[in-house]
Amino acid sequence: MAVERSEVRRIEKSSNAVPHIKSGGIWAFSVFHGFVRTQKLVIIYNFYNPAGHNFNQIKKDMKTVVILNNFSAGVKKIKLFTLAVFILSPFISHAQKSTTSPDTELAPVRGNYKTFESLDAKPKSANLAIDKLKFPFDQVWADKVLSIKPVYLTTVSVNDFKITDPPANSSDQTRAELNYLLNLQYNRSMEDITTSIYLSNNQQSPSDVGQEIGYWTDPQKLPLTDSLMDKVEKDGDFFLWSLKFKYARVRPYIVEPKIHDLEESRASSYPSGHVTYAYIRAYIYQELAPEFKDFFIAKAYTMSRARQIIGVHYPSDCEGSRIFARQFVNMLFKNEKFRHDFENVKKEWAAKRKESFNNTLEAVKM
């Protein structure tokens, strides 16, 4: 059931119903008192036990006949070495195939995002006052957040990221996006509001993610994964803030006062921090659990919609975040230091997954 406008206004005015960001940065959150948090969690058990090699097939495919009779001892050694190479070659090939390169493709834009992109993003006319609106720049805050330098992408600049400029405030595209946000606002239910606020204020840990996809059944200590994700966030923060300062896009409610945002925002709108990190994590986790790629991408898409439901981001903010996140993760996987750390994380996940599976088997035997 949709929430009446008067009820929405009451919710917005209630300090116990709506969390607000009290410090700079869209991911710095305050404690949300009086809010009953619930989460529907689907745990999928998918213990993977790879099949062994078919040695009969290897023998059948290997059509080399090694004749060792009537040769000297030296020739025998050469032939034996050749035989060993032929026997081991299927295993070498299998090992090479198992080390796959990361998925670097950006899925094509779709749905309402594709519809909005088809509209004119240019200003209605030159020198309109609405197009001069920019999010206020705070030099002290900029110096503070940009003082934390990247760990991995030390040679990358913000200009290396190729994302589309946000549409002008007076453009047809922006007007269509604002109308869409107004429709979301009018039709959002209480469940939509609470779910979207919960998602915005509760970030899953790597251990939570592993539990959710059934890789392990209880909380795990993942020091290598935690360390890697901390470093990734340092890199992400630096470039995300750089882009926010570069574009300085005002929030939707500045352009359209009828929009009632349900979160106090203290950063510019483009790109979205929440959505950027949702996709960054999705693209990294899908390399740790490729069979759940669709699941991770769906979670990032849900975050994108949540930010629109509570009225703090345009659809184009979220699409720009998706594009930026894909380029960012691609650059990470080209970085030797990151790849080294990531390989250790893969081993950590494999070990924890095996340990959990063995514990499950032991429990069955009892």
**What is the token pair recorded at 167?**
């549409």
- Residue 42: its pLDDT value, please? 30
The percent of residues in the chain predicted with pLDDT above 70, rounded, is: 72
Tell me the whole-structure pTM to 2 decimals. 0.74
User: Does pLDDT of 37 surpass 80?
Assistant: no
The predicted pLDDT at position 129 comes to: 96
Q: Quick one: pLDDT band at residue 290, thresholds 50, 70, 90?
A: very high
User: Averaged over 61-75, what is the pLDDT?
Assistant: 38
Paired strand residues for 2: 189
pLDDT above 50 for 95 = no
As beta bridge partners, residue 189 has 2
Note the pLDDT of residue 361. 82
For residue 262, how far is the Cα from the chain centroid?
Answer: 23
First-to-final CA distance of the chain: 49
What confidence tens digit (pLDDT) does each residue in 314-344 have? Answer: 999 999 999 999 999 999 999 999 999 999 9
Give pLDDT, residue 228. 98
Q: Is 189 helix (H, G, I), strand (E, B) or coil?
A: strand
- Note the pLDDT of residue 363: 75
CA distance 299 to 215: 17
pLDDT band at 364 (very low <50, low <70, confident <90, very high): confident
CA angle 155, 159, 165 (to 5 degrees): 155
Q: In angstroms, rounded to a whole number, what is the distance separating the alpha carbons of residues 25 and 237?
A: 10
pLDDT at 366: 67
**Residues ≥6 apart with Cβ < 8 Å to 24:** 138, 141, 145, 266, 267
> How many C-beta atoms surround the C-beta of residue 232 within 10 A?
24
Residue 288, pLDDT above cutoff 70: yes
